[in-house]
Amino acid sequence: MAEIDQIREKWGSKIGFVLAAAGSAIGLGNIWKFPYITGENGGASFVIVYLICIAVIGLPVLIAEILIGRTTQRNPVGAFYKLSQSKFWASLGGLGVIAGFLILSYYAIIAGWALGYIIESINGNFYLWPDPTSAAGHFNDLVSNNYWNIGYFAFFMLLTIAIVFGGVQRGIERASKIMMPVLFILLIILMIRGLTLPGAEKGINFLWNPDWSKIDAKTVLLALGHAFFTLSLGMGAMLTYGSYMSEDDNIPTAAFQIVFLDTLVALIAGMAIFTSVFSVGLDPAAGPGLIFHTLPGVFVKMPGGYFFSILFFISLAIAALTSSISLLEVVVSYYVDELKWKRHKAAIILGFIIFLIGLPSALSFNLFSDIKIFGLSFFEVVDFLASNILLPFGGLLISVFVAWIWGLDKVIPNLKKGAEKLFENYPITLVFWKIFIKYLSPVLIFLVFLNSIGILDKIIELFE
Ligand code: PFF
């Protein structure tokens, strides 16, 4: 394990860190996944459960992750080693690096579709396939065209590599400081467009009037799992970004700002999408295809839809890019810290390897479409493995590690650095954090994990 500290890169400003971390959090999870799972799970009631999950699990675990990074000034592997002096925990940190490889390998494929759809919308192609069925057909034609699918995937990976190549301040921070405000403005324009459409109130009702009959234990666990994904937790991305912070930065406040921005964007995206979908009488429960199958037809029917469709897919691509750089950064920081690679070399080589790892997933829409593993395509297997297994498992390890291995008596003095005033004025926040991270998070995350791997069903059956 590398012990000698080189001069480590640092964020240039507090706001730079918050925007970069919010950029990691805000991504396809907010604009693509959150609206469609909300649509499938009854709207407002799901949103409320999700908000609770974010507050009681997401925020405490986010604080823990950033704190591990700031205290150790290391990548996930080096960080766990430094705090525990145990190879076992270091190898668990290695799972985060592996998750970085895997998640980016399929995340960049969907992000590539967003890039491709910017061009589709500029070309006015949605007008040729105006209803959801024909739009879905067109989408399937595009993703099964290897030149289109792999071409945009490669292009998106190049953009990601270029930013990470630039380094923490001149690459990631600078890109986030430009892209995040643009993203907010675009999404607000899209929300206003949605809200001013005839029939928009149906979409608002859907998002804000709860239907509790739709909520059961499964939906709660789904919401919890999504809270992890959307906050980039459980694989060391926030840990790595935290490792470029200074001791006098206030972690709880920054974490709160990140969570706030992430939630705000999910809700704004939800408002923009549901008002539009309802106003043209389409189905909000369209599933993963909501954005690529349903929305094109919505834009076609909406005044100014041509223009708004371009803005929408630009937002989606920007959101994905500020997340993908954090995924690549986890992997790069490991090679830079532990294996002493130069950042430039690491960004290019590792980015290329991730592209290669993603090829089977990309080809699963065409050449490999007949290959199924447990009934799932490559793409679905990698998604399942990363988001349903590695992330909750990582989140579990992080809360267990902080509360039980590193130990709260050592953790609290570190957490207080930079946040003295907050804890003096609101000591209750610290009490809550301790309870959540020590007891509530591990238990709840364990349940999500069991649910994700399908064991919870069997246990519930035993009791029925
Ligand atoms: N939070 C991102 C999203 O909501 O799209 C996804 C993500 C990024 C997950 C980075 C994990 C991660 F490390």
In a domain, 141, yes or no: yes
In a domain, 5, yes or no: no
Residues 349, 453: Cα–Cα separation, whole Å: 33
pLDDT at 462: 73
In a domain, 185, yes or no: yes
Residues 169, 138: Cα–Cα separation, whole Å: 41
Task: With a cut of 70, list the residues of the chain below it in pLDDT.
Answer: 1-6, 287, 456, 460
Treating both helix axes as pointing N-terminal to C-terminal, what angle do 132-143 and 87-122 enclose, rounded to 10 degrees?
120
Is any ligand 1 atom within 6 A of the Cβ of residue 270? no
pLDDT at 370: 78
- Token digits of residue 152: 């945009």
CA–centroid distance, residue 324 to ligand 1 (Å): 7
Residues 75, 236 contacting (CB under 8 angstroms): yes
Give the residue whose CA is nearest to atom 12 of ligand 1.
Answer: 232
What is the best residue among 36, 229, 389 to mutate for testing ligand 1's pocket, by most ligand atoms within 8 Å of CB?
229
In a domain, 6, yes or no: no
Is any ligand 1 atom within 6 A of the Cβ of residue 395? no
Atom of ligand 1 nearest to the CA of 32: 5
**CATH code for the domain in which residue 19 is found:** 1.10.4160
pLDDT at 36: 87
CA angle 282, 286, 291 (to 5 degrees): 85
In a domain, 2, yes or no: no
In a domain, 354, yes or no: yes
* Residue 25: HSE in the Cβ half-sphere, 13 Å Cα cutoff: 30
In a domain, 109, yes or no: yes
pLDDT at 266: 95
CA–centroid distance, residue 130 to ligand 1 (Å): 31
What is the best residue among 156, 264, 324, 327 to mutate for testing ligand 1's pocket, by most ligand atoms within 8 Å of CB?
327
Is any ligand 1 atom within 6 A of the Cβ of residue 29? yes
In a domain, 9, yes or no: no
- Token digits of residue 305: 């839809």
- Note down the domain range covering 195: 14-462
Atom of ligand 1 nearest to the CA of 237: 13
Residues 174, 166 contacting (CB under 8 angstroms): yes
pLDDT at 72: 96
pLDDT in tens, 383-423: 888 877 888 889 999 999 999 999 999 999 999 999 999 99
- The DSSP annotation for 178-213 comes to HHHHHHHHHHHHHHHHHHTSTTHHHHHHHHHS--GG
What is the best residue among 172, 233, 326 to mutate for testing ligand 1's pocket, by most ligand atoms within 8 Å of CB?
326
pLDDT in tens, 356-367: 999 999 998 887
Atom of ligand 1 nearest to the CA of 330: 13
Report the number of distinct structural domains present in the chain. 1
CA–centroid distance, residue 127 to ligand 1 (Å): 32
